[in-house]
Amino acid sequence: MDFKNCSIIAKKELRSLSGEKTIILAILLQLFIAMFSSFLLIGLASMYNPDSISQYSNIRYPIAYAGESTDFPEFLKDYRDFIVYDMDLSTAVAALKERKLSAVIWMPDIAPDSQYPIKITLYTIENDISSSLVSVKLKNAMIDYEEKLREIRDDRLTQNPVTIEIPPAGPSGDFYEFVYGLLIPLLLFMPAIISGALIIDLITEEYQENTLETLMSTTVTFPEMIWGKIAACFILVPLQAAGWLALLIINGISISGVAPILLHLSAASLILVLIGALCALKYHERTNSQFVFSAAIVVILLIFLALPMNTANIIVRLSVESIGGEHWPVLLLMLCAAGILSLALTKYAEKVRMKFF
């Protein structure tokens, strides 16, 4: 195999990709997320966990209590987050639909020391951000009320419960989980998945446009053409990932182990690209190849993510310096798998060449 011919094909594909609007828009979207990660973090974290932004809300929300006579309304009035109105249920629900209220609470007439559980029904506006904030604040109030009921009913206990002291979570715990558990893996694996799907388009395009015969009339062989396209798709992944990591670091997000992260990501992305190339060589048609590739990736990811030392977990642990040298054998196994797939792809490309050319 002539690597010079492979590089020629790779350069040709990279030049053509620079004119693909879909690819450029996908890269720009990732660039936007990485550049403004600090700004977007609060909004994205609010969808991940609405409780993360409830502490920044100083609004007093109007809510209606439409239940029976209990001490719960007086309990809610002690919270500065709510303005509580006593209303009947139908009037309260009608006001909620008109957005004059943020929530409606209904509770049956059950005494705090009753032997029966107390069931609270909460009405909120569907698919509304303020409803998420109100629900979080009401949840905290209900947890406090539950503790009060436990104290009232503790005379029923026949045995002393075991006290478990759980340290309180830090105020930035939700952001820490979101950034390192979701944002970084998602941002890094997106180019790998895109490249895996992109190689299918590059190969099947040659079949659909009937340009293989013209290409084969040159000195470039069929396997060299395939590997040139693979190289063009593969090289985009570490370049994009390095850029995203640099922008995240500029945004004040501390990331350690950048070099090992890029090595693990490159090995995983190479496997994805090789699987995509095999699908394209097998089916020669974009729709079928993309469907088989997507189904295969879902199955592989489900199996792979079930393992404790998967690439996503390793990347997260490397970024926070919580892993030792045990990730290197995993990288070696990934490289061995990529090598096996490479040999299989080369042999299959030769088989396809002999069959069609």
State pLDDT tens for residues 320-336: 888 888 899 999 999 99
Domains delineated in the chain: 3-47+172-356 (no CATH), 56-156 (3.40.190.10)
CA distance 185 to 188: 5
11 vs 87, 149, 230, 266, 281, CA distance in Å? 71, 71, 11, 19, 21
CA distance 257 to 237: 17
Structure tokens at 54: 């409830």
For the full predicted model, state whether its pTM sits above 0.75. Answer: no
Question: Residue 299 CB: number of other CB atoms within 10 A?
Answer: 10
* 126-180 per-position pLDDT tens digit: 766 677 778 878 888 888 888 888 888 777 766 676 777 766 655 455 567 777 8
CA distance 162 to 325: 39
Place of tokens 């895996």: 196
Contact 277, 184 (CB under 8 A): no
Residue 156 DSSP class: G
Q: Which residues pair with 104 in a beta bridge?
A: 64, 123
* 279-324 per-position pLDDT tens digit: 988 888 888 888 999 898 889 888 888 888 888 889 988 998 888 8
Q: Which residues pair with 118 in a beta bridge?
A: none
Percentage of the chain exceeding pLDDT 70 = 81
- Is the sign of the CA dihedral 268, 269, 274, 277 positive or negative? positive
Contact 283, 208 (CB under 8 A): no
Assign 79 a pLDDT band (cuts: 50, 70, 90): confident
Assign 250 a pLDDT band (cuts: 50, 70, 90): confident
Maximum Cα–Cα distance across the chain? 91
Provide the edge-to-edge strand list for the sheet that holds 61-65. 82-86, 61-65, 103-106, 121-123
Describe the chain by its helix, strand, coil percentages, rounded to 5: 70, 5, 25
